[in-house]
Structure 1
Amino acid sequence: MKNRNKFLSGVVSFAALATSSFGALNSPFESLPAETIAAFRFDNSPETLEQYVDNTKMGQLLFSDEKIAEYKAFIEKLIESEEAGGNFIQKLGEVGLELDDLYEMATSHIGGAVVDHPVPGHLSMPTILIWAEMSDGVAERAFQAVLEGSAENEGIERTDLELPGGPGARIRKIADGSSFLVAQIENRFLFAIGNVREEIADMEAARVFEEAELEALGLFMTAQLEGGGEFLSDFYADAGVSSVRPSYETRLELLGDVQRLLDFVPPQNRQMVESLDINDFNKIGVWSGFVDMEERSILYFGAPAPRKGVAKLFENEFFEFQPPAWVPSSVNTYTAASFDMMKLYDFALETAKKFAPPEQVEQQLGMVNAQLQMSLQTDIETLLSSFGTRIHMLEYPIELVSVDVGEGNNVDIPQSSQAIVMDFTRPEILQAGMAMIGAMAQNPASGFELVDEMGFSGVRMKQPGQGSVTIAHGLGKLVFAIGTDNTSSRIFSTLTTVPEGEDALAGNSELRDYLSEAGVKQGTMFSYSQGDKVLKNLVPVFQTLSDTMSTAAGEDAGELVDDLVNLLPKEEELEGLLGITFSRMYYNDAGIVLEGINQYK
């Protein structure tokens, strides 16, 4: 027999409040206690999805009533194929649910948090709280389904509870005694589970932690009824956080106290945290929302000035976004960032001296410098100071590349290509280095081959089926080309023969209009892409995916695979969905900020 005795827990005695006596509930996010380490909320409600459907082509493509019906039909068909006789659907019915209820659960206000709940006489217990605010009646059906499901499972013991504002239950696995809590307040379904950080000596100790787990959930529920959650107000009282917090309504919000998170770093890893000065970071915040046909987002890392360690690496020169003339408009993505090789070197040297005696590090540096002087006639600082202060990264459209898989068979696989370009003012150093590698390239088994193309010289390394990597210099530039065999030729060509008009990204009218209208400020890193190009670029990936699934599925699942492939957007459907995607990174006295927008059409 299941243990189904109801009781009033001492740790949540306030459950005597009648459910009918409270008015409007506080939101779960507002009800989190001061001990919260990190929390998130995500609005996936039908009302929010309707904003995308009513206003954007992307929303109409993915979330229209017709498309949702197709998703549901496919899921039902998939379930029936996996469960002989449609047992899953039948089991749902036995606990009072329908397939539509699962969709209602997914399309709700969802959130979660980790609370460092105190346990007197023991280490505190990080407790995971998860919630979902659902349509009327769905939370109650979900809660009852858990109760009914546990009653049907002989390996489960259930204890019913009276909690603040609604019913609850502890669901325990008899085999090992592990358990979790579920509860319901009006249209909210809640879940809680504690993570004990010490050995549990006996049942008495286990009960202490179970009571603490129950207390954490009870306090969370009480705060939704009466108020009292301090986490959100405390977090936003931070001047750095409040300075970047968006004024628009957000769909996604993720907040974390980095200092509290670092408290849980294992002792064996703490030296690394301290050596990199990661403990200089104090907050993390992520926000995203739909505003004026744009998905806007902000990522914030709190790291107050003066910074050191990893955080200081972000303190690079501010500049205005202006693609160089040689960047073609055909790229999928273009990224430019400030870069200081000497700062990176100083950081690496400082860190090394925290792990080894300084004199030993200096001795090793002397040996490296001697080797560099002998082989390249330079030293570390001269070499690193030869690099420019900008790094440019280009991502080209994905290509289908034929790969020999043996026995005379070829398979087309999608392959992406990237190029990285930096200024370099000491070509004689590179020439000396390439001469050394050139000697290695004389051996056919080395995998190296020399490159001398369009004024660029260097070396290429090929890996069958994985593309090639080219490192070359010319025109005062150091170039890394990664991807297909023609990636290096593509970047060499545009550097030697600069594109003109709309063929150049700097001359692209859509980008120029955006920069003029948005009033983009200076930053330390920028990234640009044309959303439609990126989406259309997924076509070969979708095609390869569908071909692979069709081949692997065999006859039995062939129809199901066909249905899945039909759910994927067609090439013509990907036209005119997105505009510009743009991001900017900068820093201020409080921390590092990354802002992004994604335009919808």
Structure 2
Amino acid sequence: MQTLPLRPLFFAAFATLGFAFSSASALAEEADVPGAPHLIPEDTLLYLRIDNADKLREGMKDSSLGKMLDDPQLKPFAGDIYQTLSDLFAEISDEVGVSLDDLLAIPSGQVAAAMMPGNLPDEESSNAKQADDDDSEEAIRRRIAQKRREQNSLAGLFIVDAGDHVSELRTIVERLEKRLIESGYVRRASQIEKVDLVRLLPPRSGRPEIEFFEHQETIVFGIGHLTASKVLDHWLERSEERTLADSANFGNVMSRCVGAESTRPQMTFYADPYHVIERLVKRGGAGAFVWPMLEDLGLSKIRGIGGSSFRGGETFEDINHLHILIDTPRDGFFGVLRPETGKITPPDWVPDDVTAYSTVHWDFAKAYENLDKIIAKFQGEEPLKRFVEDPLEKAARLNVKADVIENLTGRYASATWLEPPVKLNSQVVAYGFELNDPEVAKSAIARFREVKPEALKVDTVSGIVVYSPTRVRRNMPKGFRQPTPGFAIVDNWLLLSDSRPMLERAVKAKQGGLPRLAEEPDFDLVASELGGKLDGEKPFMISFVRGAEHLRLLYELAKSEDSRAFLRRRGENNVVARQFAELLQRNQLPPYDEFEKYFAPGGIFGYNEPSGIHFGAFNLKP
């Protein structure tokens, strides 16, 4: 029998979930369908869940994005975008048998996806595969590699509560089943407590088993041996195996991602990076060489990573949490994680019109010392001295420890700005490092210039010396900003940027010639809400973000003839680029003010705690 291409079918199955994730809503009501963590195995490696798709869609209508798309001025443009996406989906639609509208409407309640270790195939599954009786050296190597892949295999699982639309989802699964059987898969069906379980056994090794069942308007689709079967056993309370909900690591991570919110998160995810990487490394055959090195770096100390997302409320458009669970003591790679606490107010050199501002407090000296220890495991004693410190001392008379590391207070800050005119790389950043003694830095620069007199050119801006490299790459493609790198010592800060205009603005802000972010009401508003979200914790990192200004870059690029010409050129060989080039050609973009009013600033914070590192982010309601 001819083997048919399966890639479009698998892509269609993934697309069902992908579109579901991007189209769903808020709290799950009490239901008979168990939550995904109670159905999937304890050793699950990756997990993503939407609590209730119907309510997420309802919440999206009341969100700023939903209101923006429903704005009479923007609705025609939004409708054209959707039609373009629908046209692009047409090829997939032919495979799955439903339109884009129908596909987006399928998820109703819980939607979840997971990746877990594969179960070793049983005798029945093995018999369904083609025999390999070849005893040549090549065949033996092939069988060993296959055994290694089986022992470190990965399996996938999808759970979709489709509610009243379960028949449409069933149609997609039936089409996929038909194509698999046409390609040689063997169908096996059984019934467990009136639930029909279908197993599709592969025709040869190297292809996964497929399982699925439908129960209570929910379809569970598994890729791998006994994936859906074990979910059904948990659902029907026929199994005593532990589930992800029983995992201490999962519980510890997710308990830190609830925050102060009174509602349940609409979306949650969890990852076990240590065991994911372990499987991938050993599956590829490099375990004997690579894995011991990763173990030495302390990778096993990452016990889990998880996050959550909340929408709605009177004050916040959305709130997100991320927690990294780390074992103590933090040695090995984690020895470089040395967060500290300190001031969060923007320095005087940050202008008021930046699109984003961040500050981080870090023990750079300790991090540098521990980095040296890590590299020493592979390069011998004092590697940073041999590879960094001594060469710089010889070539430029720079003492890395005295001139750089010991002269840093531990505070870093950055400011992002859109340099006009808008280009594809118009977003520029000024990086700032607070100094203990600016004179030490000036002395180091002077020694460098004695050794390399032609390397830097010097001029002044508002009385501040600005240094620029004499050799700058100038062959940027059309439509891109030409970088103009430089650095300056502004008060007790070393500032670096690849944008001379950005450096000049930072100098002028410090000198009082431009308004400062520290005096902006928007920053005060975000900082006050940050205080509430920190719940008494002291942050090592905070960020202030103006989402509307990031949107402005996309807006200006969409209006730019250079961008449209670029899309037209790409569209000659790319249907997606061609469709969007035609969309922009058909539509006259509304004034930017029509977009901007739907966005408000937001903030990001991070704090250190004994169990790990926690991050949070939020956007205020406009």
Q: TM-score range by the shorter chain?
A: 0.7 to 0.9
Percent pairwise identity: 15
Query: Which residue matches 2:9?
Result: none
User: Can you give the 5+ residue segments of structure 2 that lack an aligned partner in the other structure?
Assistant: 4-30, 123-146, 477-481
Q: Higher mean Cα deviation, 375-384 or 136-145? A: 375-384
Q: Deviations over 1:132-184 (max 9, x none)?
A: 22242222222223234456xx5344514236464454556768772441423
Q: Does the CA contact (< 8 Å) of 1:132 and 1:188 recur in 2?
A: yes
Q: Does the CA contact (< 8 Å) of 2:530 and 2:605 recur in 1?
A: no
Change (3 A) 1:390 1:156: same
Query: Which residue matches 1:178?
Result: 207
Query: Which residue matches 1:364?
Result: 386
Shift of 1:338: 0.4
Paired with 1:337 and 1:362, the residues of 2 have a C-alpha distance of 24
Aligned partner of 1:562 among 572, 582, 595:
582
Q: Does the CA contact (< 8 Å) of 1:108 and 1:132 recur in 2?
A: yes
Q: TM-score, normalised by structure 1?
A: 0.76
Q: TM-score, normalised by structure 2?
A: 0.74
Q: Higher mean Cα deviation, 514-523 or 589-598? A: 514-523
Q: Deviations over 1:447-477 (max 9, x none)?
A: x644444312423353222513213334332
Q: Secondary structure at the match of 1:537?
A: helix
Q: Higher mean Cα deviation, 279-288 or 317-326? A: 317-326
Q: Higher mean Cα deviation, 65-74 or 95-104? A: 65-74
Q: Does the CA contact (< 8 Å) of 2:526 and 2:602 recur in 1?
A: no
Q: Does the CA contact (< 8 Å) of 1:400 and 1:414 recur in 2?
A: no
Paired with 2:457 and 2:171, the residues of 1 have a C-alpha distance of 66
Change (3 A) 1:61 1:438: farther
Shift of 1:523: 0.5
Aligned partner of 2:66 among 59, 65, 68:
59
CA RMSD across the alignment: 3.8
Query: Which residue matches 2:559?
Result: 543
Q: Secondary structure at the match of 1:334?
A: strand
Q: Does the CA contact (< 8 Å) of 1:420 and 1:479 recur in 2?
A: yes
Paired with 2:564 and 2:51, the residues of 1 have a C-alpha distance of 31
Query: Which residue matches 1:133?
Result: 161
Q: Number of residues paired by the alignment?
A: 531
Change (3 A) 1:147 1:507: same
Query: Which residue matches 1:49?
Result: 57
Aligned partner of 1:330 among 348, 353, 357:
353
Q: Does the CA contact (< 8 Å) of 2:526 and 2:544 recur in 1?
A: no
Query: Which residue matches 2:116?
Result: 115
Paired with 1:174 and 1:161, the residues of 2 have a C-alpha distance of 17
Shift of 1:259: 4.2
Q: Does the CA contact (< 8 Å) of 1:581 and 1:598 recur in 2?
A: yes
Query: Which residue matches 1:303?
Result: 326
Higher strand share: 1
Shift of 1:50: 1.7
Q: Does the CA contact (< 8 Å) of 1:288 and 1:298 recur in 2?
A: yes
Query: Which residue matches 2:172?
Result: 142
Paired with 1:241 and 1:99, the residues of 2 have a C-alpha distance of 33
Answering whether residue 508 of structure 2 is matched by residue 493 of structure 1, we say: yes
Q: Does the CA contact (< 8 Å) of 1:38 and 1:113 recur in 2?
A: yes
Aligned partner of 1:245 among 251, 258, 274:
258
Q: Deviations over 1:417-473 (max 9, x none)?
A: 10011123153454444553576573xxx7x64444431242335322251321333
Q: Does the CA contact (< 8 Å) of 2:36 and 2:49 recur in 1?
A: no
Q: Does the CA contact (< 8 Å) of 1:240 and 1:590 recur in 2?
A: no
Shift of 1:189: 3.1
Paired with 1:99 and 1:377, the residues of 2 have a C-alpha distance of 61
Q: Does the CA contact (< 8 Å) of 1:183 and 1:190 recur in 2?
A: yes
Answering whether residue 222 of structure 2 is matched by residue 221 of structure 1, we say: no
Q: Does the CA contact (< 8 Å) of 1:377 and 1:429 recur in 2?
A: no
Paired with 1:556 and 1:588, the residues of 2 have a C-alpha distance of 48
Query: Which residue matches 2:40?
Result: 32
Could you tell me which amino acid in structure 1 is paired with residue 439 of structure 2? P
Aligned counterparts, 1:135-534, within 5 A: 135-136=163-164, 137-150=167-180, 154-162=182-190, 164=192, 166-170=195-199, 178-186=207-215, 187-194=217-224, 213=225, 215-226=226-237, 230-235=243-248, 238-239=251-252, 241-246=254-259, 247=261, 248-264=263-279, 265-266=281-282, 267=287, 268-292=289-313, 293-358=316-381, 361=383, 364=386, 368-369=389-390, 372=393, 375-376=396-397, 378=399, 380-381=401-402, 383-400=404-421, 413-424=424-435, 425-433=437-445, 436=448, 440=452, 442=454, 449-453=457-461, 454-460=463-469, 462-464=472-474, 465=476, 466-483=482-499, 485-497=500-512, 499=514, 503-516=515-528, 518-520=530-532, 521=534, 522-534=538-550
Paired with 1:481 and 1:160, the residues of 2 have a C-alpha distance of 63
Q: Secondary structure at the match of 1:323?
A: coil
Shift of 1:309: 3.2
Paired with 1:370 and 1:176, the residues of 2 have a C-alpha distance of 54
Q: Secondary structure at the match of 2:67?
A: helix
Paired with 1:272 and 1:413, the residues of 2 have a C-alpha distance of 40
Paired with 2:398 and 2:529, the residues of 1 have a C-alpha distance of 50
Paired with 1:591 and 1:398, the residues of 2 have a C-alpha distance of 38
Query: Which residue matches 2:12?
Result: none
Could you tell me which amino acid in structure 2 is paired with residue 316 of structure 1? P
Change (3 A) 1:542 1:176: farther
Paired with 1:227 and 1:399, the residues of 2 have a C-alpha distance of 65
Paired with 1:567 and 1:131, the residues of 2 have a C-alpha distance of 39
Change (3 A) 1:290 1:321: same
Could you tell me which amino acid in structure 1 is paired with residue 523 of structure 2? L
